A and B are shown apart, each in its own frame.
Chain A
Amino acid sequence: MEETRIGVYICNCGTNIAKVVDCEAVAEAMGKLPQVTVARVYKYMCSNPGQDMICQDIREHGLNRVVVAACSPRMHERTFRAAVQSAGLNPYLLEMANIREHCSWVHEEQDAATAKAMALTRSAVLRVAKHEPLEKMSADMCPFTLVIGGGIAGLTAALELADAGHGVYLVEKAGQLGGTLARDDLTAPYLDSARDLMTERLTRVGQNEKIQVFLGAEVKKLSGFIGNFNATIRTAAGNGTGEERSVDVGSVIVCTGYQEFDASRITHYGYGKLPNVITSFEFERMLRAGRIQTHEGRIPQYVAIVHCVGSRNREFHGYCSRVCCMTALKYAHEIKSAIPGVYVSDLYIDMHAFGKGHEDFYRHSSEVKTLFLMYGKNAHPVIRKAGRGDDGERLLEVNEQLSGEVIEIPADLVILMVGMEARQDAGEVARLVNISQDKDGWFIESHPKLDPVATTTEGIFIAGTCAAPKDIPDSVAQARAAAARILGKIAKEKIEIDAVFAEVNEDLCSGCRVCNELCPYSAIDFDPVRRRSHINSALCKACGACGAACPSGAIKARHFTDQQIFAQIEGVLS
């Protein structure tokens, strides 16, 4: 067996480390350890000369293991791995010791900090001796994509992929494409026609040969891993019996959208009981039909719009549904243009005018004399019957915040801006594709800031309102982002599977199957013939849960083996 030759490098990090830790002493102590060939100190290890020093030593001294005691590995592990790789050493034969964030930056007393730095570095030295070279593997990337949901997000994603020349299977549960946008008349804030937007999308999708549309269909099963999924699509055929189709895809984009909050749940608005109290969706229908009128067929003289119905309310949904404020202003505009002399009052908690053109739209609504009335989060407006001789059929009583008075305003028509909520079947979809939902039922992205369209399951993407309430520009942006990610992977033609995963030593495996149910990624299956468990390395994310659980010690968590960790424990305590 080859002799272990370890190079240990202590970084000064300018004065960040050197001011508190006696790096020379640490280097000296490390130099005395068995298997350590060189131990050096340098000002900035991550700099080019620093990295070059390591590479030169690897070549000159025949080093086959490297320890860098410096900042957090979360900072520069990638840097040093690339550095050693350029010198011809396997990148996994490197270990870092964190003597900055966990040592020099948090301790004052020099002797104690130096002793700790020595312990941490020694620990890394003992560990790295047990490292093995690891190689990344690759698998094929199927260029087909499955898009679940045929709303604006799904249509956009499908077109983006198809225009790039790749096949798409677009599965829509309803009998027609379009989603919730197909029910809208105009869109805020520029008052573009939703119909025009939809027609453009639908025509292009219809004409594109690369997109296969399945209407009245659902995805019943999804198996495999990124680049190599297999989906079973079930279409409800006209005669009652279904038809199943199995397709191979490389990625999946989930665009299942949202459902509207049921306003009848808020009893004090009287929705469903009082006539002329309608939801925003019912109002859209009126707008599409071209006539705004009360239940009795009269033109309303006073219209009231109430924001945050079912949203920002701890009793129902605490979140903001994001689109309703601008939609409400859109209604104010449309009502004012349709009915001259109408009085529109807008009852809101806060005006969320966050996007492009929104503040101007808001200002314009006040210029056309919409009366804005602010109510408090915990004191909702109350709808009462108006008296005889009063203008308007109903009176809304509001504890109005901007004036500090309890006021009442007449209304012939009350429009409730109902919020968005996760669909009833969102849980089914989540389980189907193996993604998670947050406490409100929205699908969870891989990272809320840095990775908004990917999920923790590689190859499964989410776009549009199924992830969280958002407007059309954001849904389209996410759809195109997901498509772009997939196109990037397709362009590479092969999927790189990370070298760090868990593997079962079949000789030691007793077939107890304790590990099978532990894996959050369903990466472990059981071979009933050979009576051994097997881990799919492409699916495995290396959390190590199975490794800790195996009673036979048959599972090796690569790069975090028991031996390596025991070595670390010995190192910090000796």
Chain B
Amino acid sequence: MSFQPKIVGFLCNWCSYAGADLAGTSRIHYPPNVRVIRVMCSARIDPTFVLKALQEGADGVLICGCHPGDCHYTEGNYKAMRRFPLLKRMLASFGIEDARVRLEWVSASEGQRFADIVSEMTEKIRALGPSTIKAKLNTDRVER
């Protein structure tokens, strides 16, 4: 039985969540490894969410937002776009592989694209193997 990655997906309500819904309506099949959490805008994604997910044992994190220029709140995805490189550098310094955390733009009409992204990411992470973060950390949780 090959390793089944657990991927947490943060999808924005207006574009990417709708795109994932469209994949469902179109009955486009993809691997069952992603678990979606809905936010209103990709700008809502605090980098600590990503860290929390990895800490709780996620093997990968996928953040999806509207294509630049199409954000329902005008500029939210630009904020996500700005935060992301900093987050990646931080993760890299923790030794977390680049392929584990991704930022993608998925529009409400791109059901197939969402499915393709999930499939691709699942295979890449399967090849990388399970994340060792949860095991290495002690059980102290970060509480706010």
Contact = CB atoms under 8 A, between A and B. Distances in A.
A119 interface: yes
B106 interface: no
A333 B54 CA distance: 72
A296 B101 CA distance: 73
Which one of B20, B32, B49 has the highest number of Cβ atoms from chain A below 10 Å of its Cβ?
Answer: B32
Contacts of A112: 4, 32
A73 B24 CA distance: 13
7 contacts: A98-B36, A101-B24, A115-B32, A545-B43, A548-B83, A560-B44, A573-B35
Interface in B74-128: 74-76, 79, 83, 115
Given A518-B79, A573-B53, A106 B24 contact: yes
Contacts of A543: 40-41, 43-44, 72-73, 76
Interface string A391-409: 0000000000000000000
Nearest to B35: A572
Contact of B35 (A108, A123, A542, A557): A123
Contacts of B56: 569-570, 573-574
Contacts of B31: 107
B23 interface: yes
Interface in B17-39: 17-18, 20-21, 23-25, 27-32, 35-39
A153 B43 CA distance: 37
Interface of A: 72-74, 98, 100-103, 105-109, 112-113, 115-116, 119-120, 123, 436, 456, 518, 520-521, 541-545, 547-549, 553, 557, 560, 562-563, 565-566, 568-570, 572-574
- Taking residues whose C-beta sits less than 8 angstroms from the other chain, chain B's interface range is 35 or more
A107 B18 CA distance: 18
Nearest to B38: A73
A560 B39 contact: yes
Contacts of B39: 544, 560, 565
B46 A562 contact: yes
B30 A545 contact: no
Given A545-B43, A549-B79, A569 B24 contact: no
A113 B25 CA distance: 16
Given A520-B73, A545-B76, A108 B8 contact: no
A573 B8 contact: yes
Given A123-B37, A543-B41, A573-B57, A566 B52 contact: yes
A569 B72 CA distance: 24
Contact of A102 (B20, B45, B58): B20
A565 B49 contact: yes
Interface of B: 4, 6, 8, 13, 17-18, 20-21, 23-25, 27-32, 35-41, 43-46, 48-49, 52-53, 56-58, 72-76, 79, 83, 115, 144
B57 A113 contact: no
Nearest to A75: B21
Nearest to A572: B35
A569 B55 CA distance: 10
B27 to A, nearest CB: 6
A545 B41 contact: yes
Contacts of B57: 573
Nearest to B51: A569
Contacts of A569: 8, 37, 49, 52-53, 56, 58
Nearest to A446: B72
A518 B31 CA distance: 37
Contact of B21 (A74, A553, A565): A74
Contact of B29 (A73, A101, A106): A106
Q: 7 shortest A-B CB distances, which residue pairs?
A: A101-B24, A544-B44, A545-B43, A572-B35, A543-B73, A543-B41, A105-B24
Given A543-B43, A557-B44, 20 more contacts: A74-B18, A100-B24, A106-B27, A106-B32, A107-B29, A120-B36, A123-B37, A436-B74, A520-B73, A541-B73, A543-B76, A544-B40, A544-B41, A547-B46, A548-B45, A560-B39, A569-B37, A569-B49, A570-B56, A572-B6
Contacts of B43: 543-545, 548
Given A106-B115, A116-B32, A456-B72, A545 B44 contact: yes
B143 to A, nearest CB: 8
Contacts of A570: 56
A545 B144 contact: no
A520 B38 contact: no
Nearest to A565: B49
A567 to B, nearest CB: 10
Contacts of A573: 6, 8, 35, 53, 56-58
A125 to B, nearest CB: 14
Nearest to B44: A544
Nearest to A107: B32
A547 B94 CA distance: 25
Contacts of B76: 520, 543, 545
A565 B37 contact: yes
A561 to B, nearest CB: 10
A165 to B, nearest CB: 35
A325 B141 CA distance: 68
A154 B49 CA distance: 48
A176 to B, nearest CB: 36
Contact of A120 (B6, B23, B27, B35): B35
Contacts of A108: 29
B115 A119 contact: no
A548 B30 contact: no
B73 A562 contact: no
B32 to A, nearest CB: 4
B127 to A, nearest CB: 19
A563 to B, nearest CB: 7
A566 B49 CA distance: 7
Contacts of A102: 20-21, 24, 36
